[in-house]
């Protein structure tokens, strides 16, 4: 039985070329995770930073669709955190919603709803997915607007509700 997982990718440190390279490297690392049989990437998207640090570069965003033989949410989150660290991200030392080299968030894992205190903490669906156009737009590109986000609704409708949040497609990753 195959499960589809969706991972949000984000970053804004080092310029567009560095972020793109980090995304492609992260996709290659995801393909090597035990149980992953394929990885498919969305286009590259851009969004304005949100949060307490207004003076930071624009974010690049994408989504990776993983086909998994099987995997626990906690194990997958542990893999995502290890990949982030390999790209220089130190979550404990950064300002929340501030600049980062690479951000990998588990958005969905099949139809599962998980709140595992960990460590690491695994919450699926991502608890703020319904508030983030920069995550929903690339997710919808891969999974379609009819995708149901357990507990939140249909992805396309969720994105429409976020009309004021601007994201723009930059092109293929």
Our CA angle for 155, 89, 159, nearest 5°, is 15
Q: Does the active-site annotation cover 116?
A: no
Catalytic residue among 32, 34, 93, 105: 105
Q: Torsions phi, psi of 168, nearest 5?
A: -140, 140
Sign of the four-CA dihedral 107, 110, 111, 113: negative
Active site residue 32: no
Decide if 100 is catalytic. yes
Distance CA 88, CA 127 (A): 25
115 is catalytic: no
Element (H, E) at 25: helix 15-31
Catalytic residue among 32, 40, 91, 103: 103
Among 140, 107, 136, residue whose Cα is nearest residue 122: 107
Name the token pair of 132: 């983030």
Indicate which residue of 32, 34, 93, 100 is catalytic. 100
CA distance 5 to 162: 23
Q: Residues 89, 93, 128, 169: which is the catalytic one?
A: 89
Residues whose CB falls within 8 Å of the CB of residue 84, separated by 6 or more in sequence, listed in order:
91, 101, 102, 103, 104
Q: Which residues are catalytic?
A: 89, 100, 103, 105
């Amino acid at each position: 039985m195959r499960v589809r997982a969706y991972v949000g990718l984000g970053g804004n440190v080092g310029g567009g070329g560095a972020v793109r390279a980090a995304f492609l490297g992260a996709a290659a690392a995801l393909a090597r995770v035990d149980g992953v049989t394929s990885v498919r990437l969305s286009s590259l998207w851009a969004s304005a930073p949100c949060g307490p640090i207004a003076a930071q570069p624009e974010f690049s965003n994408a989504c990776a669709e993983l086909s998994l033989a099987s995997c626990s949410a906690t194990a997958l989150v542990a893999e995502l955190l290890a990949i982030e660290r390999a790209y220089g991200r130190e979550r404990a030392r950064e300002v929340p919603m501030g600049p980062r080299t690479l951000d990998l968030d588990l958005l969905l894992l099949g139809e599962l709803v998980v709140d595992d205190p960990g460590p690491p903490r695994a919450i699926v669906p991502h608890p703020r997915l319904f508030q983030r156009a920069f995550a929903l737009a690339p997710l919808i590109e891969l999974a379609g607007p009819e995708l149901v986000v357990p507990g939140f609704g249909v992805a396309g409708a969720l994105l429409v509700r976020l009309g004021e949040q601007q994201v723009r497609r930059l092109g293929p990753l």
